[in-house]
Homo-oligomer: A and B are copies of this chain.
Amino acid sequence: MKHVTIKDIARHLNISTSSVSRAFNNKYDIKKETRELILKTAEEMGYVPNPIAKKLSQNCSLNIGLVVPEIINGYYSKVVIALQEFLTEKGYQVLVMQSDENEVQELKNVKTLINNMVDGLIIAPTAGNKNTSYYIEKYNEGYPIVFLNRVSETLKASKVIFNNINWSFFATEHLIKQQYKKIYHLSGYKNLCVSSERAQGFKKAMQKYNFPSENYKIIETGLLATEGMNIIEKLISSDDIPNAFFCVNDMVALGAMKRLKDKGYKIPDDVAFVGFTETRTAELVTPQLTSVKQPTFEMAKKAGEILLNKINNPNSKTETAIFNGKLNIRKSSIR
């Protein structure tokens, strides 16, 4: 288990450690032959560079911190994978922490990561803005941070976001064109920007198509399937079921759909559904769920690119990337 080091190679070849180091870092001031000799004997001696020593001497950790709300959520597990792949290839390691939709936990995670000397952070914040000011402070101090997905367009920091307003507008428009006359929006937490943006898009569509205010409604629920179920219970008991639901995400849609089906409603004949942030499950339920697909991989990768750029080039400008998606129309929303 004893590791062979740069010194062993130097001693073995009777040269200096500097030269060995130079050979590995492909520096200019080394003769081609000696470089090749060093690499060859290093290979033979089974040398692998010690990343920890390297980190200490260059004082950077080559670690990137990633904070997401919930890994079990398919969206964020894709984010994790995408960044994992992208950053590993660039020589970085990714430390993932989840905040469980809890601001206190989130801040704790970020501080843990900073204390562990990550070279930069990618954060998909939870609802609420209690921590944002702290992050912005760090960001303004020059600490490389990129916000992903859950952050408002007005935030003054590098970020990668989805065009929620437009795509929830399109999703709603689709329902309108299918001639559904009474449409409710099941919204997420009010203080979560993606929720409010999606609600805005919904409202915009309602107004553009002159829906009378008694024919649409925005109901705040949450992000979980159970919350979709609960709201249906309430609506049924107050006999207030519309023709169609546009939901803040697939989970809420699936929960609501499930409960309505159990109560004997026919989907989409009695009630139509459109979700958001397409999940794997969307295609496994009956009827299949119409949903807005986001380019998750691309968004995550972009966040990685912006972050690395900031790390390698500290006074690079604040960057904002806004992505568009695709409305996958399935049986849950067509007559």
Distance from A234 Cβ to chain B, minimum over Cβ atoms (Å): 19
A 254-284 to B, binary, CB cutoff 8 A, 1 in contact else 0: 1100100110000000000000000011011
**Would you call A93 and B80 a contact (CB within 8 A)?**
no
Q: Tell me if A326 counts as interface (CB < 8 A to partner B).
A: no
- Interface size classification for chain A: 35 or more
**Would you call B284 and A261 a contact (CB within 8 A)?**
no
Q: Tell me if A84 counts as interface (CB < 8 A to partner B).
A: yes
**A97 / chain B contacts, CB cutoff of 8 Å:** 84, 88
Q: Give which listed residue, B78, B93, B285, contacts A285 with CB less than 8 A.
A: B285
Distance from A44 Cβ to chain B, minimum over Cβ atoms (Å): 17
**Would you call A1 and B117 a contact (CB within 8 A)?**
no
- Taking CB atoms and an 8 Å cut-off, the chain A residues in 68-110 that contact chain B are 71-72, 74, 77-78, 80-81, 84, 88, 93-98
**A53 / chain B contacts, CB cutoff of 8 Å:** 56
Closest to A258 in B: B284
A 240-260 to B, binary, CB cutoff 8 A, 1 in contact else 0: 000000000000001100100
Closest to A73 in B: B77
Interface centre among A52, A61, A74, A96 (most CB of B within 10 A): A52
A 282-298 to B, binary, CB cutoff 8 A, 1 in contact else 0: 01111000000000000
**A50 / chain B contacts, CB cutoff of 8 Å:** 56, 117
**Would you call A96 and B80 a contact (CB within 8 A)?**
yes
**Would you call A51 and B117 a contact (CB within 8 A)?**
yes
With A88-B112, A284-B258, A286-B258: A61-B71 Cβ-Cβ less than 8 Å: no
Distance from A304 Cβ to chain B, minimum over Cβ atoms (Å): 16
**Would you call B77 and A116 a contact (CB within 8 A)?**
no
A 25-60 to B, binary, CB cutoff 8 A, 1 in contact else 0: 000000000000000000000001011110110010
Q: Tell me if A225 counts as interface (CB < 8 A to partner B).
A: yes
7 contacts between A and B (CB under 8 A): A71-B77, A72-B77, A72-B280, A88-B112, A225-B280, A258-B285, A281-B284
Q: Which of A's residues lie within 8 Å of B, judged by CB?
A: 1, 48, 50-53, 55-56, 59, 61, 71-72, 74, 77-78, 80-81, 84, 88, 93-98, 112, 115-117, 141-143, 225, 254-255, 258, 261-262, 280-281, 283-286
Besides A52-B56, A53-B56, 15 new A-B residue pairs in contact (Cβ under 8 A), listed by A number: A1-B143, A51-B115, A51-B117, A52-B52, A52-B55, A52-B117, A71-B80, A72-B74, A72-B77, A80-B96, A88-B97, A254-B284, A258-B285, A285-B286, A286-B286
